[in-house]
Structure 1
Amino acid sequence: MSDTTGRRRMLRARAIALVVTTLTLAGGSALAAPAAFAVAVPDTAITFEVAPDEVTEGETLEVTATATDAADLYAYDLTFSYDPALLEFDAESVVGPEGGFTATSVGDGLVAVTHTRLGTSPGLDGTVELGSFSFLALGGGDTVIELVSAELVDSNDDTVTLTDVDEVPVTLIALPDPTQSPSPTPSDSVTPTPSSTPTVAGTDPTTPDQPLAATGGDATPWLIAGAAGIVLIAGGALLAIRRRQAVSE
């Protein structure tokens, strides 16, 4: 026997024990119900919905089970399977029909919702919301929530077991990992256009149209010639002065 099968039997045993105990405490009043109601239990159909069927990590989704064509449904046990790596069951979110007692049992990837009517509360008839509960999305991925079995009990303690009842696919969207920084998007590099080197005026001494450059290059001979001319002029003036003095004597 597999571990999953063993857990399911454990959950069912707890559910049936709860139902039997409750019926016993009720003083057998429910067992006195007309037998005509007992034959209607096998006609009851069970389905469930998940809303929304796509959530982001950290958000919740709600599971709601419904019975149609119910007749004298006095107690039931619904066993769901789910992926505990992606979904976390919220035990505080369970809600059952009024006029009865609802309990839950949780195993590894299984949750059983058990309900029984109390005292003289009538059995459930027609289309009835059997219960609801929530899951918290833990990560991202595609998964399935399955109603793997449903045990239905009428007021005459007749039991019907349904297997592989229903399943609903769910899509979970993971949040971005805050430890990973996004890679920068490479941008097109722009190659700078080389500009021509500016030419400073007067830096080329060979350019004929730069008079300052030419003058600066020939300055030394002109200075020498000028100094010699001054010396000659000064010498001539000195000789003229001496001649004048000689004549006057």
Structure 2
Amino acid sequence: MRPPRLPALAAGALGTGLLVLGATPALAAPATSEVTLTAPGPVAVGEPLTLEIDLADTVDVYAYELAVAFDGAALAYVAESATGPAGGFDAAEPEPAGVTLVHSRLGTSPALDGDLAATLEVSALAAGTSTVDVAVTLVGADGSVSTETASAVVEVTAAPTPDPTPEPTAEPTPDPTTPDPTPAPTTAPSAPTPTSPAPGPTAAPVVPPAGGSLPSTGVPVAGAGLLAAAAVALGALGARGAHLRKAGAR
């Protein structure tokens, strides 16, 4: 442990108080029945933790200095986080491997008795086990000094690994220069089945006469000749019959 010391501002405040109280009778040396340093844990890397220093059953404490030492690669003091007894003067002096806390009464303020407590916050920098030490220097109203020490162990765990967030799957961007392929039909199209016309009445073939047809009426030429010959024959028969009837009358 390093020897106790008081920062200049705290020493000045203490000196002023002692000058005011110098005419008072000497008191017993300041004392405490026990110094306790409490460090919660375990704590993860990156998280803060509060260190508590308790002074039990103090007597005639006009000022104190708490020199807190730790591994500067494992822990770091959180600025303006220190607290102390109500009233008086408080200061914190950060260092690369610790911090010094000072409390002092002012002027004719009475010294403190009973249980006292001071707190400070540190931040966990690296995983592992780190030891924190505190050297306590108590100053009485008559300037007498007493010292005490305490230690605590801080366990720092690795920071929890967050669950990976799945990245959204990007939809493929169609290439405007490449046409979309036409899907092939699953089955070949069936050829249309030809339908046969319904059977109708069968007409007898018309055999045109040898002589052809008349252009205007469509009556066959040969048939017209037969009709004319029949008419001539009937006329001849009629004339012959008439001639026979006349001959028989004579």
Quickly name the TM-score band, shorter chain normalised: 0.5 to 0.7
- TM-score, normalised to structure 2, is 0.58
Query: Equivalent residue of 1:95, what SS?
Result: coil
Could you tell me how far apart the structure 2 residues matched to 1:57 and 1:28 are?
48
Give unpaired runs (5+ residues) of structure 2: 165-250
* Structure 1 residues 174-218: Cα deviation after superposition (integer angstroms, max 9, x where no partner): 12578x9xxxxxxxxxxxxxxxxxxxxxxxxxxxxxxxxxxxxxx
Q: Tell me whether 1:25 sits opposite 2:25 in the alignment.
A: no
1:81 CA displacement: 1.1
Could you tell me how far apart the structure 2 residues matched to 1:103 and 1:19 are?
8
Asked if the contact 1:32/1:156 (under 8 Å) is kept, the reply is: no
Asked if the contact 1:44/1:70 (under 8 Å) is kept, the reply is: yes
* Partner residue of 2:142 out of 156, 175, 190: 156
Asked if the contact 2:31/2:61 (under 8 Å) is kept, the reply is: no
Could you tell me how far apart the structure 2 residues matched to 1:136 and 1:108 are?
13
Could you tell me how far apart the structure 2 residues matched to 1:144 and 1:122 are?
35
Give the strand-richer structure, 1 or 2: 1
Q: After the TM superposition, which residues 15-54 of structure 1 pair with which residues of structure 2 at under 5 Å, given as runs? A: 15=7, 17-26=8-17, 28-35=19-26, 38-50=27-39, 52-54=40-42
Query: Equivalent residue of 1:28, what SS?
Result: helix
Q: 1:91 maps to what in 2? A: 79
Asked if the contact 1:139/1:175 (under 8 Å) is kept, the reply is: no
Give the helix-richer structure, 1 or 2: 1
Q: After the TM superposition, which residues 192-207 of structure 1 pair with which residues of structure 2 at under 5 Å, given as runs? A: none
Could you tell me how far apart the structure 1 residues matched to 2:123 and 2:140 are?
33
Change (3 A) 1:56 1:157: same
* Partner residue of 1:61 out of 23, 28, 49: 49
Asked if the contact 1:145/1:168 (under 8 Å) is kept, the reply is: yes
Q: Tell me whether 1:104 sits opposite 2:92 in the alignment.
A: yes
Could you tell me how far apart the structure 2 residues matched to 1:71 and 1:27 are?
17
Give unpaired runs (5+ residues) of structure 1: 181-249
Change (3 A) 1:94 1:43: closer
Could you tell me how far apart the structure 2 residues matched to 1:27 and 1:135 are?
33
* Partner residue of 2:67 out of 66, 69, 79: 79
* Structure 1 residues 117-164: Cα deviation after superposition (integer angstroms, max 9, x where no partner): 1122221101111x11100111211111111x22110000011133xx
Report % sequence identity: 33
Asked if the contact 1:68/1:126 (under 8 Å) is kept, the reply is: yes
1:113 CA displacement: 0.9
Q: Tell me whether 1:136 sits opposite 2:127 in the alignment.
A: no
Counterpart AA for 1:84: G
Task: Please identify runs of 4+ aligned residues in structure 1 that moved more than 6 A.
Answer: none
Number of equivalent positions: 163
Q: 1:167 maps to what in 2? A: 151
